A and B are shown apart, each in its own frame.
Chain A
Amino acid sequence: MTDSIYVPEMARLVDVRQMTTAEKLFTIELPGGRNLGHDPGQFVMVSMLGVGEAPISITSSPSRSNGVFELCVRKVGDVTNAMHALQPGAKLGIRGPFGHGFPIEKMRGKDVLFAPGGLGLAPLRSLINQVLDERGTFGRVIILYGARRPEELLFKDELDQWVARDDVECRVTVDRGDEMWDGHVGVITTLFPKVTINPRNTVAVTCGPPIMYRFVLMELLGKGIPETQIYLSLERRMKCGVGKCGHCQINSMYCCQEGPVFTYAQIKGVEEAL
């Protein structure tokens, strides 16, 4: 163990799975198979030594840890490129878990509506799977997932399972289909009219690109869900993950500490938030 909060622990890459052309799923084991001990919605700082560090949400559910955790990573820049070049058995640095995840306790007994867009499914998946593993303690579970194209859909096996389950209302859409696609076509907001909800008793959870938030929020608010019951996970540049470096500040809030999960009530009207 180190005494510096900035120094990662070297973890082992157990498995890598190509999910789409841009995203891979990484299964990682901490030294000695130690449990990461995270909440859904929290993130880790991943170090590719020599290249840099990047915040990545933990996509696996705490309820399924088995001594490993999963990250779903899109290849966009230095750190993520380097991660995509890794083979199982390789070492990578991990710090965390950091931040405030989804307050699952507050959701128990309620209906939960998940509205992830694209890569936004990665952080939400940890919560979805925990909710499903503790299915009895929640009301309805509704998942409305949108991606740009069929080949960009993440976690297809799990999506199929969710769609097949009787106790989950899962709908998937793509902005543009192809000849193989026989599902719904249209942006994610076109799924909303298809579900009716009891707004007072519903918690909504969403994550996606900034542009998506605006439209999804309109739908959720339009359905009457209270601002304090809408949760979002936000992305910011982060250089420390522990509330020092300043990059992730949204007005007075440090996204890495107070977030990355915020209620809409917390960020409403904050110009810099979305």
Chain B
Amino acid sequence: MSKPKVAFFDFASCEGCQLTVVDALQTHLDLLDAVEIVQFREAMTEKGEDYAVAFIEGSCTRPSDEARLFKIREQAAVVVALGACAHLGGVNALKNLHPLEDVRQWVYGDKAEWYETYEARPIDAVIQVDAVIPGCPIDREEFVRVVKALLLGKKPPVPDYPLCVECKLKENVCLFHLGKFCLGPVTRAGCGAICPTHGDGCEGCRGLIPHPNENAMKDVLAEAGLTVEEAVARFTMFNTYQVKDRMVEEEAK
């Protein structure tokens, strides 16, 4: 079997996910035996254009990004969204909570019109995405698992169940028992419950599970002492793009 050619691309992001890919090599140098990397700007100069698998990091934040995305989609047989920015919009989408003009002027002042920008969005808002590797940043081991699944022609093994499952299986003390807050019950697992394990509530970086009981989650947060605004703010840290419409609807009510 010839090695599949893969390429990495980045849009608005911190490049932490690509860095995590580089990190994955520390323990999985054999990744390089299994795939041929033809483009990875962060780590190499060569630029091959004959890739079959495209890993895309980052959100689409300006109209000119779209053309680049279309081009990638046209070439790649498989497009994988790498990390929360690409999968959800991530922290980039926090700016969508403010009027766009205000955001531009706040940062660039009277030079605002020099810099192109629009509402930050996940990649699948622009092109079809075949698989996602969630997380901010992605989980090293999950990245490797997904690569292996792609090699096998299997569905990527990204869990659909909530974080509480992993957290409980690790036997962590639940943060709600410590008087803290956590989005674990509505957030997709797969990170090994890394935040609760380190004493901090899940912030939802892996996105919501398929049928989250958002109302019950808000009730739980309220009972734990958050105001409605605070509870909503917790949802928006990484999922603004997903929950914003619903927030607007609810406010209208």
Chain A positions near chain B (C-beta within 8 angstroms): 50-52, 77-78, 81-82, 85
Contacts and interface: CB of A to CB of B under 8 A. Distances in A.
Nearest to B148: A50
A77 B154 CA distance: 8
B153 A77 contact: no
Interface in B118-152: 152
B109 to A, nearest CB: 54
Contacts of A51: 152, 154
Contacts of A50: 152
A79 to B, nearest CB: 9
A267 B153 CA distance: 38
A85 B153 CA distance: 11
State the majority secondary structure of interface residues on B.
loop
A147 B102 CA distance: 60
B155 interface: yes
- Identify the 10 closest CB pairs spanning chains A and B, nearest first: A78-B154, A51-B154, A78-B155, A50-B152, A51-B152, A81-B153, A77-B155, A82-B153, A85-B153, A82-B152
Interface residues of B, number: 4
A78 B152 CA distance: 9
Nearest to A50: B152
Interface in B54-81: none
Given A78-B154, A82-B152, 10 more contacts: A50-B152, A51-B152, A51-B154, A52-B154, A77-B155, A78-B155, A81-B153, A82-B153, A82-B154, A85-B153
12 contacts: A50-B152, A51-B152, A51-B154, A52-B154, A77-B155, A78-B154, A78-B155, A81-B153, A82-B152, A82-B153, A82-B154, A85-B153
Nearest to A81: B153
A12 B153 CA distance: 22
Contacts of B152: 50-51, 82
Interface string B148-172: 0000111100000000000000000
Interface in B163-195: none
B66 to A, nearest CB: 33
Nearest to A78: B154
A121 B80 CA distance: 39
